C-alpha cells in the first residue's frame, strides 16, 4: 500500500516535471523566430533538390516523431540546416555516392537547436547518450550530421544496427559483423572523410566537420516559413 507521503512526493515530482517541460516549451517558442538566424551562415538541405537532376537528399528524422530513444517528438517538422561549408560537403558526398550507383544519403539529424538539446537533456540527463546543453554539441553548432547511405532502390544499406542504437555493436571498433556490414560502414567512413568529416567511434551514423567550430545556434526553425522568409 502506498502511504500518503509517497503520494505527496509523487505529486511534487510530477509538478516539477511539468514546470521543467513548460519552461522548455517557452524557450523553444521564444527561439522559433528569425532572430539570430543569419542566412549567410546556414544552408538548408535539400535546398539541393535538383542536384544532378536525380534523387534529392532523403530526410528521415526520427526526432520529428515519437519513435526515438526519448519517446518524444522534438522537432515540429524535419528540416536539415547546416553551416554552409558542411552543407556543401554533404552535397558533394551525396553526388559521389550517386556516381558510384547508390541512391545517395539519408539524413537522420543535422543542426539541432540548443533549446531542443535542452529539452532532450531534461528528458534524459545522461551524458552517455545526450550532450550536456551547457557544453553544446557539434549538432548544436550545425557542423554534425547523423546519416546513412541508400541503395539505388532507396533502401538503406545494412549497417548492422538501427540509428541511435546505443550499444557496442554501433562502434566502429566492433568487428563481429558480416563482411557486407563492414564494407558498408567503411564506405560511409571513407566517403565522409573525403569531404572533410570525421567519425566518432561510438556511433557509426555520426560525423562532424573537421574544420572550425562555430558557436552553438539557438534559433529554431519555423515549419511554416521557408529559409528565405526566416531572415
Complex with Zn ion: residue 112 or 218, whichever CB lies closer: 112
Q: In degrees rounded to 5, what are phi and psi of residue 107?
A: -100, 135
Question: Which of 102, 146, 149, 188 is close enough to bind Zn ion by CB under 5 A?
Answer: 146
112 is a site residue for Zn ion (CB under 5 A) = no
Which of 25, 44, 180, 203 is an active site residue?
203
Q: Report whether 102 contacts 58 (CB < 8 A).
A: no
Q: Report whether 175 contacts 147 (CB < 8 A).
A: no
- Using CB under 5 A as the binding rule, the residues of this chain from 59 to 88 that contact Zn ion are none
* Residue at shortest CB range from Zn ion: 206
Question: Which stretch, 40-48, 55-63, 68-76, 143-151, contacts Zn ion (CB under 5 A)?
Answer: 143-151
Alpha-carbon distance 58 to 62, whole Å? 13
Closest C-alpha to 64, from 72, 54, 52: 72
Nearest distance, CB of residue 69 and Zn ion, angstroms? 12
Complex with Zn ion: residue 97 or 143, whichever CB lies closer: 143
Complex with Zn ion: residue 206 or 218, whichever CB lies closer: 206
Nearest distance, CB of residue 144 and Zn ion, angstroms? 5
Alpha-carbon distance 227 to 75, whole Å? 16
Binding mask 183-212 for Zn ion (x = CB under 5 A): -----------------------x------
203 a catalytic residue: yes
Alpha-carbon distance 81 to 113, whole Å? 10
Complex with Zn ion: residue 217 or 230, whichever CB lies closer: 217
CB atoms within 10 A of CB 157: 18
Nearest distance, CB of residue 206 and Zn ion, angstroms? 4
> How far, CA to CA in Å, does 159 sit from each of 24, 129, 223?
34, 19, 31
Nearest distance, CB of residue 67 and Zn ion, angstroms? 17
Alpha-carbon distance 208 to 186, whole Å? 16
Nearest distance, CB of residue 208 and Zn ion, angstroms? 8
Total residues belonging to the chain: 231
Q: Map 212-230 to HEC letters.
A: CCCCCCCCCCCCCCCHHHH
Complex with Zn ion: residue 207 or 221, whichever CB lies closer: 207
Chain positions contacting Zn ion, by CB under 5 A: 146, 206
Q: Which amino acids are annotated catalytic? A: 203
Amino acid at each position: 500500500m502506498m502511504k500518503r507521503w509517497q503520494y505527496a512526493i509523487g505529486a511534487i515530482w510530477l509538478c516539477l516535471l511539468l514546470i521543467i517541460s513548460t519552461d522548455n516549451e517557452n524557450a523553444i517558442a521564444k527561439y522559433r523566430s528569425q532572430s539570430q538566424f543569419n542566412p549567410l551562415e546556414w544552408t538548408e538541405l535539400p535546398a539541393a533538390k535538383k542536384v544532378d537532376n536525380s534523387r534529392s537528399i532523403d530526410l528521415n528524422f526520427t526526432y520529428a516523431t515519437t519513435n526515438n530513444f526519448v519517446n518524444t517528438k522534438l522537432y515540429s517538422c524535419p528540416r536539415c540546416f547546416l553551416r554552409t561549408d558542411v552543407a556543401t560537403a554533404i552535397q558533394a558526398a551525396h553526388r559521389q555516392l550517386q556516381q558510384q550507383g547508390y541512391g545517395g544519403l539519408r539524413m537522420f539529424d543535422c543542426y539541432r537547436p540548443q533549446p531542443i538539446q535542452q529539452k532532450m537533456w531534461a528528458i534524459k540527463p545522461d551524458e552517455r547518450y545526450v550532450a550536456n546543453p551547457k557544453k553544446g554539441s557539434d549538432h548544436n553548432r550545425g557542423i554534425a550530421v547523423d546519416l546513412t547511405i541508400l541503395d539505388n532502390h532507396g533502401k538503406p544499406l545494412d549497417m548492422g544496427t538501427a540509428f541511435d542504437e546505443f550499444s557496442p555493436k554501433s562502434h566502429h571498433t566492433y568487428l563481429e559483423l558480416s563482411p557486407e556490414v563492414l564494407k558498408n560502414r567503411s564506405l560511409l567512413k571513407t566517403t565522409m572523410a573525403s569531404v572533410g568529416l570525421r567519425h566518432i567511434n561510438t556511433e557509426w551514423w555520426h560525423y562532424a566537420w573537421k574544420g572550425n567550430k562555430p558557436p552553438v545556434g539557438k534559433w529554431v526553425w519555423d515549419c511554416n516559413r521557408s529559409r528565405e522568409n526566416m531572415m
